[in-house]
């Protein structure tokens, strides 16, 4: 088979890494890829939103299967486009991907089908949103309706923060057109859990749960990012809670999309809060998470490519999906200044040393012009994944490997997976 993966981040590096293990794959491409992906696949200078360019390349190279990684092309309808060009492609169609592309649509769907989520209201008028905001208790959550690279959610603890966040989204257009509409919702207390599932219409096969760390600094301080690290499994979360989330949230959402004439075929990612009243939905994504994928795929014992093909061909129900009992912890190495402005083009050293006992997935890197070196090219630069028999062993390996990598201004959180190792992190 010839396979083309679309995307350039750590998620896509993990997907490429997993697909490359299938013996049926004799040629693997990635558009546009990055400095690390280039070691496993031929990188193609075509961007994720260049649908015509992707289709032309796939036809020229006689690609058998296209796998879409990121959210932007899915929300823009890349699956519909490539299918119309006669290509076999993995991912949800545009009308199903709207569950991520519009937070307002997602919340309205959950409300209609009585699926647990935070209380909320939606506004496209700044004045009405501000008036409502001033009546609500603190803390409060303000979300840009559209895609914002994982950064369009602000948790405000004071009136001043809340009003600044609202003005930033709706008046200053911090997130561009994504902020033309906002969702204002209640703040939920509890621990977050990421629960991804392979979905083919009403057939849902959940993956192992993981936990992300969004704020940039230790102890969940600082602005939200695309994710500073993850771990899986969650030893402090009882399996009954995971089963409840599947029963009350993930399966009903897949069924709701079918009922709405938007059957979902792809990766449905539920971002959940484990509250005292049970799991509640924070968000849905229409693709693999980043950096959740970097800890989930190393625990997958079944062949990823065969599962993705089964979903695309409408036979997920037959797929045999097995998971390892081992643990994985991912620590994100970020550029100085992230999630704000940051430098690019800084040389990176020590990756090969880190790879002695860890996986290193490239998120924002590029090859030097001579192809010999790796430099920074993004805010989240590398994801260092330690694996072990339990979280403690995996965590030790991840941090030992992360410490061997050097570039100017590198920073990372020192408390990834700490919740799994402390009593305070336990969810009964």
Q: Show pLDDT as tens, one digit a residue, over the chain (428 residues).
A: 999 999 999 999 999 999 999 999 999 999 999 999 999 999 999 999 999 999 999 999 999 999 999 999 999 999 999 999 999 999 999 999 999 999 889 999 999 999 999 999 899 999 999 999 999 999 999 988 878 766 678 889 999 999 999 999 988 888 888 888 888 999 999 989 999 999 999 999 999 999 999 999 999 999 888 899 999 999 999 999 999 999 999 999 999 999 999 999 999 999 999 999 999 999 999 999 999 999 999 999 999 999 999 999 999 999 999 999 999 999 999 999 999 999 999 999 999 999 999 999 999 999 999 888 999 999 999 999 999 999 999 999 999 999 999 999 999 999 999 999 885 454 43
The pTM score is 0.93
Which pLDDT score is estimated for 428?
A: 39
**369 within domain boundaries:** yes
Structure tokens that stand for 376 in this block: 């920074």
Identify the CA nearest to 305 among candidates 35, 19, 29, 42. Answer: 19
Residue 108 CB partners (closer than 8 Å, separation 6+): 122
Which pLDDT score is estimated for 425?
A: 54
Instruction: Say yes or no: 389 and 313 in one domain.
Output: no
Residue 132 CB partners (closer than 8 Å, separation 6+): 121, 123, 184
What CATH number does residue 283 fall under? Answer: 3.30.470.20
Please give the tally of structural domains in the chain.
Answer: 4
What CATH number does residue 22 fall under? Answer: 3.40.50.20
**221 within domain boundaries:** yes
Residue 291 CB partners (closer than 8 Å, separation 6+): 10, 11, 212, 226, 227, 229, 230, 330, 332, 361, 363, 380, 383
What CATH number does residue 382 fall under? Answer: 3.90.600.10
Instruction: Say yes or no: 365 and 261 in one domain.
Output: no
Write phi, then psi, for 298 (nearest 5 degrees).
Answer: -65, -15
Which pLDDT score is estimated for 423?
A: 52
**106 within domain boundaries:** no
Which pLDDT score is estimated for 152?
A: 79
Which pLDDT score is estimated for 207?
A: 98
Instruction: Say yes or no: 196 and 179 in one domain.
Output: no
Query: Where among 318, 343, 368 does a domain terminate?
Result: 318
Q: Are 191 and 157 in contact (CB under 8 A)?
A: no
Identify the CA nearest to 183 among candidates 146, 144, 150. Answer: 144
Instruction: Say yes or no: 280 and 306 in one domain.
Output: yes
- 278: domain range? 191-318
Query: Where among 296, 318, 340 does a domain terminate?
Result: 318
Q: Are 197 and 250 in contact (CB under 8 A)?
A: yes
Which pLDDT score is estimated for 427?
A: 45
CA–CA dist 90, 303 (Å, integer): 15
Q: Are 330 and 299 in contact (CB under 8 A)?
A: no
Which pLDDT score is estimated for 224?
A: 83
**107 within domain boundaries:** no
- Sheet harboring 2-7: ordered strands across? 42-43, 27-32, 2-7, 65-68, 89-90
Which pLDDT score is estimated for 149?
A: 66
**114 within domain boundaries:** no
Identify the CA nearest to 200 among candidates 264, 286, 285. Answer: 264
């Amino acid at each position: 088979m010839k396979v083309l993966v679309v995307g350039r981040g750590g998620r896509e590096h993990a997907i490429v890494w997993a697909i490359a293990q299938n013996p049926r794959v004799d040629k693997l491409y990635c558009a546009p890829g990055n400095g690390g992906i280039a070691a496993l696949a031929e990188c193609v200078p075509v961007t994720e939103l260049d649908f015509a360019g992707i289709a032309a390349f796939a036809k020229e190279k006689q690609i058998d299967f296209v796998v879409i990684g990121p959210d932007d092309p899915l929300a823009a309808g890349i699956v519909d486009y490539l299918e119309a060009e006669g290509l076999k492609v993995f991912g949800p169609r545009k009308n199903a991907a709207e569950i991520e592309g519009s937070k307002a649509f997602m919340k309205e769907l959950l409300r209609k089908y009585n699926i647990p989520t935070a209380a909320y209201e939606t506004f496209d008028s700044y004045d009405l949103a501000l008036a409502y905001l001033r009546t609500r208790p603190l803390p409060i959550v303000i979300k840009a309706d559209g895609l914002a690279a994982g950064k369009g959610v602000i948790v405000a603890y004071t009136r001043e923060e809340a009003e600044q966040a609202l003005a930033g989204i709706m008046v200053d257009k911090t997130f561009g057109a994504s902020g033309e509409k906002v969702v204002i919702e209640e703040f939920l207390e509890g621990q977050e859990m990421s629960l991804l599932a392979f979905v083919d219409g009403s057939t849902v096969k959940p993956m192992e749960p993981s936990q992300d760390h969004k704020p940039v600094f230790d102890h969940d301080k600082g602005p939200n990012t695309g994710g500073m690290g993850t771990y899986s499994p969650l030893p402090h979360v009882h399996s009954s809670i995971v089963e409840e989330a599947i029963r009350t949230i993930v399966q009903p959402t897949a069924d709701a999309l079918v009922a709405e004439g938007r059957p979902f075929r792809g990766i449905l990612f539920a971002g959940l809060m484990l509250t005292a009243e049970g799991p509640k939905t924070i968000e849905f994504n229409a693709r693999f998470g980043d950096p959740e994928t970097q800890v989930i795929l190393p625990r997958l014992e079944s062949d990823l490519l065969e599962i993705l093909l089964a979903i695309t061909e409408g036979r997920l129900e037959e797929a045999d999906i097995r998971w390892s009992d081992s643990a994985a912890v991912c620590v994100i190495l970020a550029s100085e200044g992230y999630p704000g402005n940051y430098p690019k083009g800084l040389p990176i050293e020590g990756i090969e040393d880190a790879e002695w006992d860890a996986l290193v997935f490239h998120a924002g890197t590029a090859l030097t012009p001579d192809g010999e070196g790796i430099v920074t090219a993004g805010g989240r630069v590398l994801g260092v994944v330690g694996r072990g028999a339990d979280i403690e062993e995996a965590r030790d390996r991840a941090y030992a490997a992360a410490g061997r990598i050097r570039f100017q201004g590198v920073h990372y959180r020192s408390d990834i997976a700490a919740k799994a190792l402390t009593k305070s992190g336990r969810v009964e």
